[in-house]
Amino acid sequence: MNTSTVMPSSGLNHIKTKLAVMNFLEFAVWGSYLVCLGNYLVSAGLGNDIALFYAVQGIVSIFMPAVMGVIADKWVQPQKLLGYCHLLAGVFMAGAWYYGLTHTEPDFWTLFSLYTLSVAFFMPTIALANTVAFSLLKRKGLDTVKDFPPIRVLGTVGFIAAMWFVNCFYVADGSVGFSLVNPLGDTMPDPRFSNTVNQLLVSGILSIILFVYCMALPACPIAAKGQSVKGIASVLGLDAFKLFRQRKMALFFIFSMLLGVSLQITNGFATPFITSFKAIPEYMDSFGANNATLLTSLSQISEALCILLIPFFLKRYGIKTVMMIAMGAWVLRFGFFGLGNPGSGVWLFILSMIVYGVAFDFFNVSGALFVEQETHPSIKASAQGMFMLMTNGIGATFGTLAAGMVVNRFTIADGAYKISAPGTWGWSGAWMVFAAYALVVLVAFGLLFKYKHQPERLTRQQAEDITGGDPEGMAEV
C-alpha cells in the first residue's frame, strides 16, 4: 500500500518547504556571478574572453550532467551527490576568487582553470536538483506538474536575491555597505561586488552552505539499485540515448539544443552591453547604465511569475505550443535589446526583461517536466542529464562561442566594447542577428515537431509515475 497518499498536509508542506530552500540556494549560487561575470572580466582586462568563460559552462555540460545522472541512477543517492558536487564547486570557486583577489591582472589560464573546475561540478547540480525534487514529490504522492513550479519559483527568488546583493554590496577603504551608485565616485573603480572578483566568493560560500543542507535532505531512492549493469553503454549512462529512437523525443532534444544556443547570450553580454552606455554622456548618470545587474534582475522577477503559468499552459496546450511560445519570446527578448537604451528607450529594456520569463521558463522548466513524464523511472536522472547536455551543453557552448564572435565583430573598437564600432551597427546589429536566429528556429520547430496533446494521457502518466506503473509512458503519442 502506498501510504504517502494519506500523509497529513503538514508533512507535505514540510517537504515542499525543504525543496523550496534547496532551490533557493541552488540558484543563488549561480545568480551571484552568472549575469555580472562579464563586468569583472572587463575590469580585469579579460573582456575579449567573456565568451570563453560562458562557453565552458556548456562544454562541461556536454558530459558532466550525464555522468552524474548515471551515478545518481545507479550508485549514489541523488541528494547526497548533489551535496558533494556543491562542495567541490564551492571550493574551486573560492580558489578562483582568491587568485583574482591577489592578482589585479590575472593570468587567463589560471583563473579560467579554477573557474572551469567549479562550473564542471556545478552544472550537473541543476539536473540533480530537479531529480531530487521530482523523486521526493512523487514519494509523497504529489503531482509534479502542479507542485514543482511553485517550488522552482524559490530558485528564481534565490537568483534575484543574489543578483541584488552583489549589485549593491561593497567593501572599500575600510567601509562596508549597500549602494546603487559607485560609493567612491565616478573617477574611481566601482567596488560593488557585481564589478569585482568578490562575486565569486559569494557563490563559493553559498555552494558550501548548500552542501551542508543537502546532507540533511530526506533520502531519495536509487532507481536502478540492485539491477545488474549490462555493458559499457549502461555504465556510461548511454541508455538515455535510446530516447532518440522515438521521433518525438529525438526532435525535442534536437530543438532543445538549437534553442539552447540562446540561453547564455544575454547572461554573458547583457550587463557589459548596458554598462557600455556609461561611455555616452547622455546616459552616463542613468540608473540602468549604473545598475545593469539590478536592471537585468527584472528578467528573473518575470521568470518567477511565469513559472506559475506553466501548469496551466502545459496541461491545456501541450509541450509543442509551450515551446513555440518560448521561442517567440526569445525573438522579442533580443529584438527589444537591439532597439532600447537606458534613457528614453529604457522601456524596451524593461519589455525585454519581462518576456525573458516566458522565454526561459516555458523552455527550461516545461522541458524538464516533459522529459520527466516521457521517460522510464530507471533512466530519469540520466534523461534529465541528457536534456542538460543538449541545452546547457552542446547548444549553449556553440551559441556562446558564436555569440562572442558576433559581438566582437559588431562592438569591439580600440580593444574595448563600444556602442557602435566603426563601420558596423554596433550592439544593435548583434542583437538583431540573435533575434533572426531565434525566429528561424521557431519556424522550423513549428513545421517539423509533431505532437498531439492529450491531457488525459498526461494525467494517467502522472498516476503511473506515482504508483510505479509500467514503462509504456515512453511510447510515442
The pLDDT, as a whole number, for residue 423 is 45
Non-local CB neighbours of 150 within 8 Å, separated by 6+ positions: 16, 20, 307, 308
pLDDT per residue as tens digits for the range 249-287:
888 888 888 888 887 788 788 888 888 888 788 888 888
Q: What is the DSSP letter of 389?
A: I
The pLDDT, as a whole number, for residue 117 is 97
73 vs 195, which has greater pLDDT? Answer: 195
Average pLDDT over residues 301-324: 83
Decide if pLDDT at 110 tops 90.
yes
Beta strand pairing status for 169-172 and 175-178? Answer: antiparallel
Helices (H), 197-264: 198-214, 231-235, 247-260
Q: Predicted confidence band at 446 (pLDDT cuts at 50, 70, 90)?
A: confident
pLDDT per residue as tens digits for the range 114-138:
999 999 999 899 889 988 998 899 8
pLDDT per residue as tens digits for the range 385-396:
778 778 877 888
* The C-alpha cell that represents 205 in the structure block: 560560500
Distances (CA, A) of 323 to 30, 61, 313, 359, 395: 24, 21, 10, 9, 16
Non-local CB neighbours of 288 within 8 Å, separated by 6+ positions: 274, 277, 295, 342, 346, 349
pLDDT per residue as tens digits for the range 147-171:
888 898 899 889 999 999 999 999 9
403 vs 27, which has greater pLDDT? Answer: 27
Q: How far apart are CA 398 and CA 389, in angstroms?
A: 12
Cα angle: 77, vertex 365, 378; to 5 degrees: 35
Tell whether the torsion through CA atoms of 406, 257, 380 and 236 is positive or negative.
negative
Residue with cell 532507481: 223
Average pLDDT over residues 167-193: 88
CATH 1.20.1250.20 describes domain 18-224+233-474: yes
Q: How far apart are CA 393 and CA 213, in angstroms?
A: 27
pLDDT per residue as tens digits for the range 201-219:
999 999 999 999 999 999 8
Percent composition of the chain: helix, strand, coil (DSSP 3-state, to 5): 75, 5, 20
pTM of the model: 0.74
75 vs 336, which has greater pLDDT? Answer: 336
The pLDDT, as a whole number, for residue 412 is 63
Among 260-269, 296-305, 383-392, 452-461, the range scoring the smallest mean pLDDT is 452-461
Domain range summary for the chain, segments of one domain joined by +: 18-224+233-474
Non-local CB neighbours of 317 within 8 Å, separated by 6+ positions: 453
The pLDDT, as a whole number, for residue 316 is 83
Whole-number CA gyration radius for the chain: 22
Non-local CB neighbours of 41 within 8 Å, separated by 6+ positions: 47, 49, 50, 53
The pLDDT, as a whole number, for residue 382 is 72
Decide if pLDDT at 3 tops 60.
no
Q: How far apart are CA 5 and CA 142, in angstroms?
A: 8
Q: How far apart are CA 427 and CA 413, in angstroms?
A: 12
The pLDDT, as a whole number, for residue 86 is 98
Q: Predicted confidence band at 104 (pLDDT cuts at 50, 70, 90)?
A: confident
pLDDT per residue as tens digits for the range 358-383:
998 888 878 887 787 777 777 776 77
Q: Predicted confidence band at 477 (pLDDT cuts at 50, 70, 90)?
A: very low
Q: Predicted confidence band at 416 (pLDDT cuts at 50, 70, 90)?
A: low
Return the percentage of the chain with pLDDT > 90, whole number. 34
Decide if pLDDT at 234 tops 60.
no
* The C-alpha cell that represents 158 in the structure block: 534565490
Give exposure, 96-127, as e/b (b: 16+ Cβ within 10 Å).
Answer: bbebbeeeeebeeeebbbbbbbbbbbbbbbbb
Decide if pLDDT at 187 tops 50.
yes
Average pLDDT over residues 27-50: 91
